[in-house]
Amino acid sequence: MQEEKNIERINQVISDYFEHSKKDTVAVRELMPDFIKAGIFTKDHKKGLPIRKILRALDEQNALSKIPFVHAERQEKHTFWYFVRTGATYVSDTPNDTGVSKKQKLKASRASSDEHYVINLCDEILEAQASRQHKFGFLLGDYHKNGKTRTPLPVDAYYKEQNLVIEFKERQHSEAIDTFDKPDKITVSGVTRSEQRKIYSERRKKGLKANDIQWLEIDYSDFECDSQKKLIRDKKKDLEVLNKLLKNYK
């Protein structure tokens, strides 16, 4: 009896949500504050686990129809739960739908980045192909939690013939961006990501200098940018800027 009453209250909360929202689809965890306010649950746990437990139980009983708003996005290992407005069509936005691995996505993202674009132009000017994300044995990050291992610090581009490392600095290297810096999270080194980035940048400079490797920093502000501080990518003008910066390395 209590279960039926809870399901009735859950449906009412979902109905009220869509009545006041412009969204057609919402992840079930996002309604946990509403469920708690309605007295259905006392607190949240693991980002929506209480409501997921109810949905899983109904699923096992083939009774998901008791909550007509629910949609189960079933993946190979996991099920992602959503509520969908009555009459609306569910459009999947789960990260696994494309079948592209995280590594492939990262590679594709890097290939379309301003950094990749600028290094491509540097390759053209220097008539050489940079070793991208190159790692030197003498450039290492801080110790991991185990106190024994350290991850090599990559550089954006290394030109062996020119004995030159190029680092392209995007806006996150010169201004605070919460989504990138995550200021509330502290790294294993006991500092914020922003502080650690500065420490690692200085470590790269000193390490390269100690090993007689030339270092050149290219900043996004050297180029024409849009309102989001992304390069406009006027190749002719950008080549002019880079030719001046690289004149001593040709």
Residue 98 has pLDDT above 60, yes or no: no
Q: What percentage of the chain carries pLDDT values higher than 90?
A: 54
Helices (H), 182-248: 193-210, 235-245
Q: Which tokens sit at 127?
A: 């008539």
**Amino acid at the residue 45:** H
Phi first, then psi, for residue 68 (nearest 5°) are -60, -15
Question: What integer is the mean pLDDT of 162-176?
Answer: 79
Residue 96 lies in a domain: no
pLDDT of residue 97: 46
Sorting pLDDT into bands at 50, 70 and 90, what band is 189?
Answer: low
Do 75 and 189 share a domain, yes or no?
A: no
3-state class (DSSP) for residue 214: strand
Do 190 and 119 share a domain, yes or no?
A: yes
Residue 51 lies in a domain: yes
Residue 62 lies in a domain: yes
Can you give the residue range of the structural domain that contains 48? 2-84
Residue 161 lies in a domain: yes
* Rounded distance between C-alpha atoms, residue 157 and residue 205, angstroms: 14
CA angle (194 as vertex; 244, 218 as ends), nearest 5: 5
Do 44 and 163 share a domain, yes or no?
A: no
Sorting pLDDT into bands at 50, 70 and 90, what band is 175?
Answer: low
Helix or strand run (H / E) with residue 27: strand 25-27
* Rounded distance between C-alpha atoms, residue 71 and residue 82, angstroms: 5
State which of 84, 112, 138 marks the end of a domain. Answer: 84
Task: Quick: pLDDT tens for 119-168.
Answer: 999 999 999 999 999 999 999 988 887 877 888 999 999 999 999 999 99
Q: Which tokens sit at 15?
A: 């109905």
Sorting pLDDT into bands at 50, 70 and 90, what band is 191?
Answer: confident
State which of 57, 84, 111 marks the end of a domain. Answer: 84
Sorting pLDDT into bands at 50, 70 and 90, what band is 184?
Answer: low
Residue 28 has pLDDT above 90, yes or no: yes
Do 9 and 66 share a domain, yes or no?
A: yes
pLDDT of residue 77: 74
Question: By 3-state DSSP, what share of the chain in percent is helix, strand and coil, each rounded to 5?
Answer: 40, 20, 35
Q: Which is more confidently placed, 107 or 248?
A: 248
* Rounded distance between C-alpha atoms, residue 250 and residue 247, angstroms: 6
Which of 18-32, 82-96, 228-242 bottoms out in mean pLDDT, i.e. has the lowest?
Answer: 82-96
Residue 38 CB: number of other CB atoms within 10 A?
15
Number of separate domains in the chain: 2
* Rounded distance between C-alpha atoms, residue 195 and residue 201, angstroms: 10
State which of 18, 52, 84 marks the end of a domain. Answer: 84
Do 213 and 136 share a domain, yes or no?
A: yes
Question: What integer is the mean pLDDT of 27-34?
Answer: 94
Sorting pLDDT into bands at 50, 70 and 90, what band is 110?
Answer: low
Mean pLDDT, the chain, whole residue set = 85
Residue 108 has pLDDT above 90, yes or no: no
Q: Which tokens sit at 120?
A: 């491509």
Do 125 and 48 share a domain, yes or no?
A: no
Do 134 and 202 share a domain, yes or no?
A: yes
Do 142 and 76 share a domain, yes or no?
A: no
Which of 40-49, 126-135, 194-203 bottoms out in mean pLDDT, i.e. has the lowest?
Answer: 194-203
Residue 197 has pLDDT above 50, yes or no: yes
Residue 115 lies in a domain: yes
Do 176 and 142 share a domain, yes or no?
A: yes
Residue 64 lies in a domain: yes
Phi first, then psi, for residue 74 (nearest 5°) are -90, 120
Helices (H), 73-222: 102-111, 114-126, 178-181, 193-210
**Amino acid at the residue 113:** S
Do 134 and 188 share a domain, yes or no?
A: yes
Residue 138 lies in a domain: yes
Residue 93 lies in a domain: no
Residue 124 CB: number of other CB atoms within 10 A?
12
CA 9, distance to chain mean position in Å, is 36
Question: What integer is the mean pLDDT of 158-185?
Answer: 73
pLDDT of residue 177: 43
Do 150 and 241 share a domain, yes or no?
A: yes
Do 138 and 60 share a domain, yes or no?
A: no
**Amino acid at the residue 77:** K
Taking the complete model, does pTM exceed 0.85, yes or no?
A: no
